[in-house]
Amino acid sequence: MHFRHLRMDNRLIHGQILVSWNARYKIDRIIVTNDKVASDPIQVTLLKAVAPIGAEVSVFSLDETVEYCNSPEAQDEGIFIIAKFPEDGVALLERGLEMDEINLGNQAFVRGSKKLSNSVFLTDTSVRAMQKAHEMGVKITCRMMPDDPTKEFWPTIEKSFPEWLEDK
Amino acid sequence: MVGIVIVTHGRMATGLIEAAEMIVGEQEALVPVHLQEMDDVEGLMERVTKAVSQVDSGQGALIMVDLPGASPFNASARIAMQQDNIGVVTGVSLPMLAETLVQRDGSSIQELIDIAKNAGMIGIKDLTEILNP
């Protein structure tokens, strides 16, 4: 089984991924996915220009990402998927991408978000998106670096944002 | 004179400026911007844009960043692609910065980029090769 990882990181491709993750895993392709980013030619050009050593970069819409990852050619590649927001990552799961684990990376402060850690701020819609992933049986981790603990992170989110949870 | 903005992970930019000024003396139109843990690229872009307007006296600005492809680079590149008279060079180091600063007067942005690249590359030496040429 080839490496496959889904990280939700609003900084998209950046230093931690280029250096630490790329050194640890055999990554053939990085897929950056968010509908807005995929339709911005400046961001697409830049993201493709600075691919890490040994990897190719694709910038896809959410639908294109699911389609590509489920295609036969993708089965022979180590793929690191970077969804810009938790909403994007969870939308991939809902549209048919199969992952056992999704990883919460950097999420900067935006209006209405609350602090979870120095590098993670969550909005109500991102918390609810991850609640959906949790209810689908997907493990949620919060690993900035490959060596960070792989423990289930949902209880921490649940405890930090009880006011934003959807009633079951 | 071309203005210079240094954009790095953490406080490296401030440290580099402090180090360079020990070598070439106090500088004007030289400003650090730091990526912090809680930043996003858009927020960083705002701070870099502000720094560029601070150092640009009409001859443009050179942005020096640390790691190609990382957030300081991504933010700076997006600004440079949308605004004239801005250059971006990666791999900022003390040899690169010091040489660029002493050559700054009278040089264009493109000339400074060539100076910076060259100084950065020749600033890397293996002592064994120096001792056994």
Question: Each residue of B86-101: pLDDT tens digit?
Answer: 999 999 999 999 999 9
Q: How far apart are CA B26 and CA B23, in angstroms?
A: 9
Residue in A94, A91, A67, A69 with CA at minimum distance from that of residue A81? A69
Q: Which of B38, B39, B86, B88 to mutate to test the interface with A (most CBs of A within 10 A)?
A: B38
Q: Where are the beta strands (DSSP E) in B78-133?
A: 86-89
CA distance B4 to B63: 6
Tell me, which fold does domain B3-131 have in CATH? Answer: Rossmann fold (3.40.50)
What are B31-42's pLDDT values in tens digits? 999 999 888 899
CB contact under 8 A, B9 and A15: yes
Contacts of A52 in chain B (CB under 8 A): 69
Q: Are A14 and B74 an interchain contact pair (Cβ–Cβ within 8 Å)?
A: yes
Token digits of residue A38: 């995929």
Q: What whole-number distance in Å separates Cα of residue B73 and Cα of residue B67?
A: 7
Q: Which pLDDT score, from 0 to 100, does residue B14 have?
A: 98
Q: Is the ipTM of this complex over 0.85?
A: no
pLDDT of residue B33: 98
Are B26 and B17 in contact, with CB atoms under 8 Å apart?
Answer: no
Separation between Cα atoms, residue B123 and residue B103, nearest integer Å: 16
Residue A26 DSSP SS3: coil
CA dist A23 and A76 (Å) reads: 19
Cβ(A82)–Cβ(A13) below 8 Å: yes
Spans in chain A with pLDDT lower than 50: none
CA closest to B68 among chain A residues = A50
Quickly state the pLDDT bin for B123 (edges 50, 70, 90).
very high
Buried b (16+ CB within 10 A) or exposed e, A113-131: beebeebbbbbeebbbbbb
Would you call A46 and B78 a contact, using CB atoms and an 8 Å cutoff? yes
Residue B111: the pLDDT is: 97
Cβ separation A14–B70 shorter than 8 A: yes
pLDDT (0 to 100) of residue A52: 83
Q: With CA atoms as reference, report the closest residue to A102 among A133, A132, A67.
A: A133
- Residue ranges and CATH numbers for the domains of chain A are 4-164 (3.40.35.10)
Neighboring chain B residues of A121 at a CB cutoff of 8 Å:
38
Report the predicted TM-score, pTM, of the whole model to 2 decimal places: 0.86
Q: What pLDDT, on the 0 to 100 scale, is given for residue A48?
A: 92
User: Which chain B residue lies closest to A120 (C-alpha atoms)?
Assistant: B38
The residues spanned by each domain of chain B are: 3-131
pLDDT, position A50? 84
Quick: pLDDT tens for B45-76.
999 999 999 999 999 999 999 999 999 999 99
A46:B40 CB<8 A? no
Q: Which of B40, B67, B77 minimises the CB distance to A11?
A: B40
pLDDT of residue B133: 81
Q: Which amino acid is at A147?
A: D
Name the residue in chain B with its Cα closest to that of A48: B69
pLDDT of residue B115: 96
Q: How many angstroms from the chain centroid is the CA of residue A99?
A: 11
Whether A19 and chain B come into contact, CB under 8 Å, resolves to: yes
Q: What is the mean pLDDT of chain B?
A: 95
Query: How close B25 comes to chain A (CA, Å)?
Result: 31
Q: Nearest CA of chain B to the CA of A41: how many Å?
A: 11
How many CB pairs below 8 Å do chains A and B form together?
A: 53
From B38, which residue of chain A is nearest by alpha-carbon distance? A119
Q: What gap in Å lies between CA A28 and CA A46, rounded to an integer? A: 18
Chain B residues bordering chain A (beta-carbon distance below 8 Å): 9, 37-41, 43, 67-71, 73-74, 77-78, 81-82
The answer to whether A152 touches A101, Cβ cutoff 8 Å, is no
Alpha-carbon dihedral angle through residues A84, A62, A157, A22, given to the nearest 10 degrees: -60
Q: A168 vs chain B: nearest CA distance in angstroms? A: 32
Burial A32-63 (b: 16+ CB within 10 A, else e): bbbeebbeeeebbebbeebbbeebebbbbbbe
Q: Which amino acid is at A3?
A: F
